[in-house]
Amino acid sequence: MATKTFSRTTRRVVTTTLVAALAAVGMAVPAVAAAQPGEGAFQRQVDAVQRTGTVGVLARSTGPRGVQFATAGVADAETKRKARPGDKFRIASATKTYVSTVVLQLVGEGRLSLDDTVEDVLPGVVSGNGNDGSRITVRQLLNHTSGLFNYTADFPVLSGMDAYEAGRYTTWTDEQLVGIAMRHAPDFEPGAKWSYSNTNYTLAGMIIEKITGRTWQQEVTKRVIRPLGLRDTLTPTTSARIPGSHLKGYSAFGESAPAIDVTAFNPSAAGAAGAMISTAGDMTTFYQALMSGRLLKPAQLTEMKKTVRAAELDEAWPGAGYGLGLMEIPLTCGGSYFSHAGDLPGYATRTGATEDGRRVVVLEATGDGSMPGSIHATNDLIDKQLCAGRTK
């Protein structure tokens, strides 16, 4: 799920800070120029990410000068197959932007308000140990100011290799995941501060189902995937496999042992907080549509981009703010870009899109990588690609 992911390495900054060591349209999408293989500076930037200890890396950069891609390392450590630009991967917490988009579409349709409380929509679900759904709004779920305990911080499946092997195929219900969080007192009063919690998006998924009568997976598919023609984007429920050509994930969970293949994983453990699978090309199309206003009405897109300061993210993304399922990160060339990271054991998804959606970068790295080297290398790549040809 992302930035507080399921791994126990310092990727927790992103995983425990975005997952704790855990977007109704029918408009056509404009065609883009054929992608060109990575070369020169872009390939060197991808190679720099791979050298931080990743197994495989693929990246796609789209802008006024066209589309380019680059890969490094391998998709499969056993067969040594090279990573391919069209390989699928687990996008982890980047799922949250898609889920938030659907919630905001419902707001735009007048079926929900950002000021509705969790208790208004899901009576009795958030209660006990000081948790009170009547004091938490939908907005506070989406921007992580609810104060709710992050269930992945008390989730044994992600606590180590043996635990992962024992529980990787277990099916979880949303109620069970929220129940883990309800065993804990809230971290702070609703609205008092910011702290990443996957529990917030589990509840957002439940709200989508309560309002529409359909699961978040069905609504994301109906409202985002099909209209945009995202043929390689999936919203799995309990299937542990990634179909078709894909990157395999590897993780040692911070232990002093060889990394294991973690590709197979029951996504119900992540749900609306991080279960989706996609490709760099499909994610690019999504961000282009979102940022250019093809998925949300102007009022809802404006709300999505209203951020609160997210100091917990500073170690990974200095100066970051968090909106409604979107991070906003400063650019060295001035201004900022929008993004959402995603981390699960073995997978690290990094994205960046300018406010108009004309420039988009998507990068996926497998394996644990080294911190802070991998974060610096990925941030540098995204910043340089989004700033190319621009001056302050």
Task: Report the catalytic residues.
Answer: 93
Amino acid, res. 81? R
Neighbours of 64 (CB within 10 A): 8
Question: What crossing angle do the helices spanning 198-212 and 95-108 adopt, rounded to 10°?
Answer: 40
Cα separation, 332 vs 320, whole angstroms: 13
Q: Which residues does residue 338 pair with via DSSP β-bridges, in sequence order?
A: 328, 353
User: Distances from the Cα of 143 to the Cαs of 77, 114, 156, 188, in angstroms?
Assistant: 37, 11, 26, 14
78 CB contacts (<8 Å, ≥6 apart)?
none
- Record the tokens describing residue 321, joined without a space: 């703010």
Cα separation, 181 vs 157, whole angstroms: 15
Give the E-state strand segments of 221-306 in sequence order.
Answer: 250-251, 260-261, 277-278
DSSP state of 294: S
Residue ranges of alpha helices (H) inside the chain are: 12-18, 40-50, 95-108, 118-121, 138-142, 161-167, 174-182, 198-212, 216-220, 226-228, 280-291, 298-304, 373-387
Cα separation, 339 vs 168, whole angstroms: 28
